[in-house]
Amino acid sequence: MDKPEDRTIMVSRSFKAPHQAVFDALTKPEIVKQWMLGPPGWSISVCEIDLKPGGKYHYVWRQDSDGTLMGMGGVFRQVKSPEHFVAEEIFDKPWYAGHALVTTALAKKDDQTVLLTTIQYESKEVRDSVLKTPMLNGLASSYDNLTKFLAA
């Protein structure tokens, strides 16, 4: 994780898998449901993806212990398979001001695919408040799941 600008978080992860397989794992609902679970104790109950500019996506996670739901979604602005996609992100019950702009880029490097996710928030204050939450732990846990899924 890096903070290259006041409003931005960048997260990078490498996967030992073909470029197209990683792109598909990020964009096909039947695959996303298998790994984007968040931290232990959470599951994904809704996963809808209409992968095209202007298409919408929506995810809902459920905390298994008490049934708490957390949903988020947005609209795709750009899609170029298998290189990148750009989408707006907003939570169903917003816990930070405004929305975020998420750019997901994939690059080949030797026998790996490098995933670079850039999240731009409306302000530095919003970004800093997000960094105080367990969001990065949930993201890391999901990427660990993705690593296992791609290796299988």
- Domain residue extents for the chain: 8-146
Where does the pLDDT of residue 97 fall: very low under 50, low under 70, confident under 90, or very high at 90 and above? confident
The two three-digit tokens of residue 99, written as one number: 């929305």
The alpha carbon torsion through 34, 69, 137, 112 (nearest 10 deg) reads 30
pLDDT at 40 over 90: no
CA–CA gap between residue 89 and residue 26 (Å, rounded)? 15
Q: For residue 101, is pLDDT > 90?
A: yes
CA distances from 86 to 66, 133, 141, 144, 147 (A): 33, 23, 22, 22, 22
First to last CA, the chain: 26
**Cβ atoms 121, 99 nearer than 8 A:** no
3-state secondary structure of 145: helix
Q: What is the pLDDT of residues 132-147, one digit of tens each?
A: 988 888 888 899 999 9
Do residues 143 and 13 make contact, with C-beta atoms less than 8 angstroms apart?
A: yes
Residue 4, pLDDT above cutoff 90: no
Strand partners, 69: 62
- Write down the CATH superfamily of domain 8-146: START domain (3.30.530.20)
